Amino acid sequence: MKDKKVIVVVGGGFAGIELIKQFKGTDQYNIILVDTNNYNFFPPLLYQVSAGFMEPSAISYPFRKILRNNKNAFFRLGLLTEVMPHENKIILNNGELHYDILVMATGVETNFFGNKNIEDKSLPMKTISDALSLRNVIFTRLDRATRTEDVQKRKRLLTFVIAGAGPTGVELSGIFAEMRSNILTKDYPELSENDLGEIYLIDGQDAVLASMSKNSQTYTHNKLKKLGVNIILNTLVKDFKNDTVYLSNGIEIATRNLIWAAGISAKKFKGFSPESYGRGNRLKTNSYNLVEGYNNIYALGDCALVSGDENFPDGHPQLAQAALQQARRLAENLSSNPEQWKPFKYKDLGSMAIIGRNKAVVDFPKHKYFLKGFIAWLIWIFVHIMGLVNFRNKLRTLYNWLGYYINKDQSFRMIIKPTERK
């Protein structure tokens, strides 16, 4: 590793893995990937793991296997605790690493907006651990409901409140609604349809999928209502205590289950100056993804607030496509002479969300075109299968979805290491 410059990439999500892939076989750099997990995973499908429609291994893959044929890439399992720019090194929980170039691709974490009750008692949806925890809670509480004679207690166990009506919230509420219709009364004959609780989708904005087109919003709203989802807009979740969700409009919902998909924030790390951070704790960079105030530290993806793109003066959307495009441009620049570097410009490829079986929406760039229903659902499936990291995952996911499409059922509803929340 002494003959080449060393790039340390912190974070093995979309941006980190894409950057490493672009440097495969390079004679310029050795690359060390640092991550707290030993696997890459596909966040857009976490909700399917949480609902028991997919197994975790279908959307995850070990970093060392991904890097196996990349002779200039190495992996270090560790947690970043501090950056020391003046010494060109980072401190991990299990050692330290020196770098010539540091790339921060650390993504985001759940933002509870300072509400300790919500942080302690709600169920987030950012990691595979979160998804498995949610799956355990859902099916543990379903089983507990079959043993409960108290009608009100049973309803609290079977009522789900989802905070945040972005794609994750919409997809979760849709899949829970389909589970209620197609699966629960079959798997839990002790429960009648009248026993099943309500599904609530809450958001502080005036529409579901607020970042998408009006057509997508209207279609999604109508389909969710038809599936039996209670949608409450222009309303915030204020608190969660005593088995009750308190809303800003005065409504109180009796439930044990608050799923938090309402906010994200980038992670802060010791060693960066306070001026380096912008809105949402994102690292401020110039148009070449170089973090302001440093000459060899770059930021990519959700944790980067890139300036200089006139079409996105407030920063780019925290989506996979932005992360992938930034990684490709940075790899291209780092492989070129500085005078040949090109600033990053985001190309909007559109956005999409799935509501349920045969129901999805797709917006094409700048909302000029809109698709809905079965065709949009097929496009959503194709895009997400192609986004998985290898052929085995693609094949397994396609098989799972075909099984669900034919049978309206899935078989990954195992409770793994159940821990009942008191």
Reduced to 3 states (helix: H, G, I; strand: E, B; else coil), residue 136 is: helix
d(CA 103, CA 307) in angstroms, rounded, equals: 17
d(CA 287, CA 310) in angstroms, rounded, equals: 10
306 burial level (CB within 10 Å; 0-12, 13-18, 19+): buried
* Architecture of the domain made up of 116-262+350-407: 3-Layer(bba) Sandwich (3.50)
Q: Phi and psi dihedrals of 133, rounded to 5?
A: -60, -45
Q: Phi and psi dihedrals of 305, rounded to 5?
A: -110, 95
20-61 confidence digits (pLDDT tens): 999 998 889 999 999 999 999 999 989 888 888 888 888 899
Pick from 107, 67, 21: nearest CA to 300: 107
Q: Compute and round to an integer the Cα radius of gyration of the chain.
A: 22
Residue with tokens 């204020």: 238
The pLDDT, as a whole number, for residue 195 is 81
Residue with tokens 């000029």: 368
As given in the structure block, the two tokens for residue 359 are 């129901």
CATH code at 5-36+78-110+265-340: 3.50.50.60
Angle (nearest 5°) at CA 132 between 146 and 245: 65
374-399 confidence digits (pLDDT tens): 999 999 988 988 888 778 888 878 87
Residue with tokens 């380096």: 276
d(CA 63, CA 76) in angstroms, rounded, equals: 10
Residue with tokens 């944790």: 303
Is the per-residue pLDDT at 419 higher than 70? no
d(CA 122, CA 116) in angstroms, rounded, equals: 10
As given in the structure block, the two tokens for residue 381 are 């499936």
Contacts of 202 (CB under 8 A, 6+ apart): 161, 162, 163, 164, 165, 232, 235, 236, 237, 247, 262
The rounded percent of the chain whose pLDDT value lies above 70 is 95
**DSSP H stretches of helix in 148-240:** 151-158, 167-179, 185-187, 214-226
Residue with tokens 């990519």: 300
As given in the structure block, the two tokens for residue 129 are 């651990």
Question: Domain ranges in the chain?
Answer: 5-36+78-110+265-340, 116-262+350-407
- Do domains 5-36+78-110+265-340 and 116-262+350-407 share one topology? The answer is yes
As given in the structure block, the two tokens for residue 151 are 């009608």
The pLDDT, as a whole number, for residue 205 is 96
Q: Which amino acid, 265?
A: S
266-305 confidence digits (pLDDT tens): 999 999 999 999 999 999 999 999 999 999 999 999 999 9
